[in-house]
Structure 1
Amino acid sequence: MSSPYEQRDNDSPVEVVWHASGVSKADRAKLKGQQARCLWLTGLSGSGKSTLANALEVALAAQGRHTYLLDGDNVRHGLNKDLGMTDEDRTENIRRVGELSKLLVDAGLIVISAFISPFRSDREAARALFEPGEFIEVYVNAPLAACEQRDPKGLYQKAREGLIKDFTGIDSPYEAPEAPEITVDTAADDLDTCVRKVLAAVCN
């Protein structure tokens, strides 16, 4: 006898059916006067993702855009507080964030998701959740040496001392994007320059 929760191809139980709303994503975005998108910021710890994400949200809000910022540390305080830092947990962390970002885009928002997201396959899985043009990968590119010099949370020092295991860039890999929509160099350019570069690409 099969279970009433026999799995479908999309890994949802057969009794779980997507409920379509009478108000579409396009309707919600139109009400806000914008194109809903996900700006996915990826880069090493200390590369400046959170700083850039915050500055982007401030700049977009000043333009009257409707946004929401998802930050790696903030999400791990609540939604993903049950996850550790193993490769498997990092993949699950990004899977959940991708699904949450998709829902927020469906609400008509410009979502800024700032996560190390070290594995290329996880970022591509997140991209696959969106329609063409909705997912914009922003590679916050800063050399490891620059990130270590900044080390705003003292994490690199702890990783070098062996106090933190599986730290991205030290004893866990970071797979840089191969073809991001946008690349910003936070070691060479100031914050305003980086913000303008991203806004020029998305505010059209």
Structure 2
Amino acid sequence: MSDITLDKDENVIWHQHYVTKLQRSELKQQKPVVLWFTGLSGAGKSTVAGALETELLRLGHHTYLLDGDNVRHGLCRDLGFSQQDRRENIRRVGELAKLMADAGLIVLSAFISPHREERALVKSLLPEGEFLEVFVDASLEVCESRDPKGLYKKARAGEIANFTGIDSEYEQPIDPDIHLQASEKSVATLVEDCLAVLKEKGIIG
């Protein structure tokens, strides 16, 4: 056992590499950004994010989609669904998204992320203009009627505790960068809405 205790702040130093984010972005002919899709389970976050990524790929852009379920198979497989674990899940994903943006990618992240504080934390990790909050807005009634994974049914039966929208609060974004009316519009139209904002902000040409 070593009696030497390393202080993280003093001994772990960020190494600045020669290749820069700007160079990576210029090579890809796009501006890096994290599109953070938030909304209730069943609102269509992953569906819209996936359709948008497909269209961005068709247009020649470099992307990566981070999905809530997928990261729990690896990066966050050690986490449960307590409030503390869910917060840590979002923190880890935020740090990963930051690294991907540094690589010059357009990152699409689809997570319920129910609390404004958690979403603000992720935003604080990124430079100004590199985090866009995308609110996939669908009512609880619509989401519950879809219930693609049968989670609402289990939550109503008491088989799942702390389920967002049922016995755990969802804090809607106050002023999202992109507000998608997912109860009223088709996926194709929602994708067009996203593309319009990305073009307006100069992220894609």
- Say yes or no: TM over 0.5: yes
Q: What does the per-residue CA deviation read over 1:21-78, in whole Å, with 9 as the maximum and x for residues that have no partner?
A: 1011111000101001000000000000010010010000011000000000000111
2:172 is the counterpart of 1:176: yes
Other-structure match for 1:116: 112
Q: What secondary structure is seen at the aligned counterpart in 2 of 1:65? A: coil
**Aligned pair partner of 2:152 in 138, 153, 156:** 156
Give the superposition deviation at 1:3: 5.5
Structure 1 residues 161-182: Cα deviation after superposition (integer angstroms, max 9, x where no partner): 0000110100111111111101
* 1:43 paired to 2:39: yes
Q: How many residues align?
A: 198
CA contact (8 A) 1:139 1:180 kept: yes
Runs of 4+ in 1 over 3 A off after TM superposition: none
Match of 1:141 among 137, 162, 169: 137
TM-score, reference length from structure 1:
0.95
CA shift at 1:143, angstroms?
0.2
Aligned to 1:201: 197
Q: Name the residue aligned to 1:6.
A: 7
Q: Report the Cα offset of residue 15 of structure 1.
A: 1.3
Please give the alpha-carbon distance, in whole angstroms, between the structure 2 residues aligned to 1:22 and 1:138: 33
- Correspondence for 2:188: 192
Name the aligned partner's letter for residue 178 of structure 1. Answer: I
C-alpha distance in 1 between matches for 2:170 and 2:49: 20
Q: For 1:41 and 1:70, how far apart are their aligned partners in 2? A: 10
Gaps spanning 5+ residues in structure 2: where? none
Distance 1:173 1:71 in 2: 21
> How high is the TM-score relative to the length of structure 2?
0.94
Report the CA distance between 1:4 and its aligned residue.
3.6
Structure 1 stretches lacking a partner, 5+ long: 9-13
Give the Cα–Cα distance (whole angstroms) in 1 for the partners of residues 52 and 6 of structure 2. 43
SS of equivalent residue, structure 1 residue 39: strand
Identical residues among aligned pairs (%): 55
Q: Deviations over 1:84-126 (max 9, x none)?
A: 1111011000000000000000000000000000111000000
Q: Secondary structure at the match of 2:24?
A: helix
Query: Which structure would you say has the larger RCO, counting Cα contacts within 8 Å and 6 or more residues apart?
Result: 2
SS at match of 1:69: strand
